[in-house]
Copies of this chain bind each other. A is one copy, B any other.
Amino acid sequence: MTSAPKTQLTALELVALGLVQQPAHAYELFQHFSPDLPLGMIWHLKQSHLYALLARLEQLGYLAATVEPQGARPPRRVLRLTDAGRATLEAWLAAPVAHGRDMRQEFLAKLYFAAQRGPEAARALVARQEAATREWRADMQAQLDNAAQPYSRLVLRYRLGQIDAILTWLAECAATLV
């Protein structure tokens, strides 16, 4: 009995889809994660990790490969988005992240791709994220108002502080992306 195919991709898998918007081979994609490049600031991964991840995306039908022989050098497997891949990518890019903990990698990556498409796309993403984050804030504040134990209050205050810092930063972003 074959197991059900997984439905939800990890953030890193979605980032990979984002990179394949321009068809490319795995080795080329890997360069994007060099520490001095934007995505390399955010994510560190090993070569074999990326290859495995791309193979998975291919097998799931989000990517398709065509082998391009090139004279002597080892042939390249050029990857490109399938329709399913593109649809999944667009849905991901349009949505804000769901948790504060997803800001530091996932949101920054979304913003990277959005910014590539121009300032309007980036501003739209920032605005949507701002709305979502304000909801977290209200939720968190409510929880804090109901929390009695000192330790719980400490934890909730920590989270509230992080959320407020996110809101400040998002406002700054919106202002920067004129």
Contacts and interface: CB of A to CB of B under 8 A. Distances in A.
A161 B154 contact: no
B112 A158 contact: no
A170 B159 CA distance: 12
Contacts of A154: 108, 111, 173, 176
A149 B41 CA distance: 12
Interface in A138-178: 149-152, 154-155, 157-159, 161-162, 164-166, 168-169, 172-173, 176
Interface residues of A, number: 29
Interface in A36-93: 38, 41-42
Interface string A88-112: 0000000000000101100010011
Contact of A151 (B115, B149, B158, B169): B115
B38 A149 contact: yes
Contact of A165 (B101, B108, B164, B176): B164
A108 B155 CA distance: 7
Contacts of A157: 169, 172
A140 to B, nearest CB: 12
Contacts of A101: 104
A42 B101 CA distance: 12
Interface string A113-124: 001000000000
Nearest to A159: B104
A129 B177 CA distance: 34
Nearest to A112: B151
Nearest to A162: B165
A169 B161 contact: yes
